[in-house]
Structure 1
């Protein structure tokens, strides 16, 4: 009786002991076949070329003892492995737990393939490794040797719960704001909804890049600097801007009638961030028109704030589950709750009124 066929897929750019251990664990179920993300797929996700080209990555993976055969995936996007999966026609599809998704589970169910999720565990006696941690170490080492000559300051995109960071909103009901820190590969336009005012404040202190320190403490410093007592305006900028820029990855921060959140959480899970990269589309728009005040005509009630908080909760849950329909619905619900309280956020020509 022949061994079962087992399939796994990934980019495997910085091949490390964690990958080898994963291959060994997967190969215990049968003959192991590996799909490798192409250079084009990697560029689509990361907006940069992989450290090792696909032919070199293929060579390395093919020569791991646990691997029977490996191929370059011919598809694109998150499910770039689909043509390879159909070519191999495996009995079992194995993923790391953080790389699992309902879409992958559905694809396997449709094809009669057993779907198995493995927890990421290091080989006995070895340090836990991940591509993200290795890249961070390499980045730290290179930065210590070579000063950067360009600005790499992040910006932030608010996903849900916007305005809950203002006490005159959260006093009606507490809730989370969701932000994601972006490393822009585009010119960030002024007054376009990406916290350019806070980013410019940061550039006055750190023109090139953020210093290496505790992200929450860094966000506190930025918040205090932007809201210094001698500012011209009585308006206090929300903490979500400073936190969204300084806190890496996807973050949520909980507000309860205070300017600073009671607690902050964030995730750097690669598959979660890749899910957002794959499904968030940013469309450049003109800067906010002169004299525009998004707070004009505001109408804040407890019912509307509850709707905002609930939408943010649902958005966070949907993202972590990588549930696109639920994410889209919660994202829209959050926007609707915001504009119900602050109709000045939307220009009449945008919604057709």
Structure 2
């Protein structure tokens, strides 16, 4: 009896690279294929597949090298586990780019041989990949964009270290700011802490979408454009705004008494980004009111800035470790450090006077005691706009609270 061999993927843009992979995998035995469902595809890619699951199943089943195929009934990166229970394979084959420690460990636990294949084209054919096909499709997308169709300018959410990008803060202690670049899958409102002033500046240069260039260089160009010498208000926008928008994925940037960071680090690790998407939501509040100031009454000391920097360090480590409780604790500590220095983030001052009606405290009191809420903070400078929450389950929270916004992080 031949061994049973299993592979899994979405196979939306089925091409010769897939067929060659199937052919090579079938050399280990009878080949069974798990196909990502439409729901999983949308969750993973943040858009619908080009071909619905029934059509993708039909195409894969009729590939000569394939013995049989199934729609995976699970979800997430390991959506194929229910299909493994059906097939009970002897060998699990992945291409080198699709390998992971999680898949390797799963096979080890189940006594399945784990094989990684290098991506090689069939003899005489051009190398194909879904990425290369998408690049070709992107050219058509660019043409459409010039006619007015838009995929949208990203926005950013700051996770920890907010204010450290201002030299009058980092002069007391250096530290990291942490941001994520967000797809604009929701209405990005002005004066709401999501860097809309920077986003609006970008639209003056690139009205439709960001150009394809080195993200850090792009962020520096945006920062310089927004903070041109002729700016009349004398305010320097923090670099975390342009970096948070332009650099995809999860990013941290290190400030030490300067406007531009000394170093920038980012990750687009899929499991890390999904961890954040699974545990972050935003709820809309009233926008920051005209005349409101969040810097009135500021109290910046070395001890308070160090607390901000320490919280950002802990937040980064917790995110990379996918440690929800540690992430929530560090996230909350970062916000507490912010409002210790800038209490008007929560209780704004309007035209030099307290403005109790603009206080955000009632919203914090409301959401902080809700089941499943682990931590909270104001995005950006605060004063209104949104409350960004760390929750046990983003999808479950959004299902129970219509106002909650699920976040989709922009991938590289």
Residue deviations 1:4-29 (CA, integer Å, cap 9, x gap):
x4544332323456656765676676
Q: Report the 3-state secondary structure (helix = DSSP H, G, I; strand = E; otherwise coil) of the residue aligned with 2:254.
A: strand
Give the structure 2 partner of residue 72 of structure 1.
71
Q: Is the 8 A contact 1:239 1:260 kept in 2?
A: yes
**SS of residue paired to 2:292:** coil
The count of aligned residue pairs is 350
- 2:45 corresponds in structure 1 to 46
CA distance in 1, matches of 2:322, 2:24: 25
Normalising by structure 1, we get a TM-score of 0.80
Mapped contact 1:173–1:256 kept (Cα < 8 A): yes
Q: Which runs of 5+ in 2 are unaligned?
A: 347-359, 367-412
Distance in 2, matches of 1:59 and 1:112, equals 29
Partner of 1:225: 225
How has the CA–CA distance of structure 1 residues 206 and 108 changed in structure 2, closer, same or farther, with 3 Å as cutoff? same
Distance in 1 between residues matched to 2:55 and 2:160, nearest whole Å = 41
RMSD of equivalent CA atoms? 3.6
| CA distances 1:182-212 after superposition (whole Å, capped 9, x unpaired) | 2212211112221111111222233222333
Give 1:312 deviation, angstroms: 3.0
Match of 1:351 among 355, 364, 370: 364
- Are 1:242 and 2:228 matched, yes or no? no
- Using the TM superposition, name which of 151-160 and 327-336 deviates more: 327-336
Larger Rg: 2
Tell me, in whole angstroms, the C-alpha distance in 1 between the residues paired with 2:7 and 2:101: 16
Shift, 1:340, TM fit: 3.3
Higher alpha-carbon deviation: 9-18 or 23-32: 23-32
Please give the alpha-carbon distance, in whole angstroms, between the structure 1 residues aligned to 2:263 and 2:340. Answer: 26
Contact 2:96 2:118 in 1 (8 A): no
Aligned-partner SS, 1:203: helix
1:219-269 deviation per Cα after TM superposition (whole angstroms, max 9, x unaligned): 222212222233232331101111111223333222221101122233344
Query: For 1:75 and 1:101, how far apart are their aligned partners in 2?
Result: 18
Contact 2:174/2:256 (<8 A) preserved: yes
Q: 1:55 to 1:244 in 2, by over 3 A?
A: same
* Whole-angstrom distance in 2 between the partners of 1:8 and 1:102: 16
**3-state secondary structure, aligned to 2:189:** coil
Structure 1 unpaired stretches of 5+: none
125-134 or 55-64, which moves further after superposition?
125-134
Deviations 1:299-326 (CA, angstroms, capped at 9, x unpaired): 3333443343344344444444545454
> What does 1:264-303 align with in structure 2 at a 5 Å threshold?
264-303=264-303
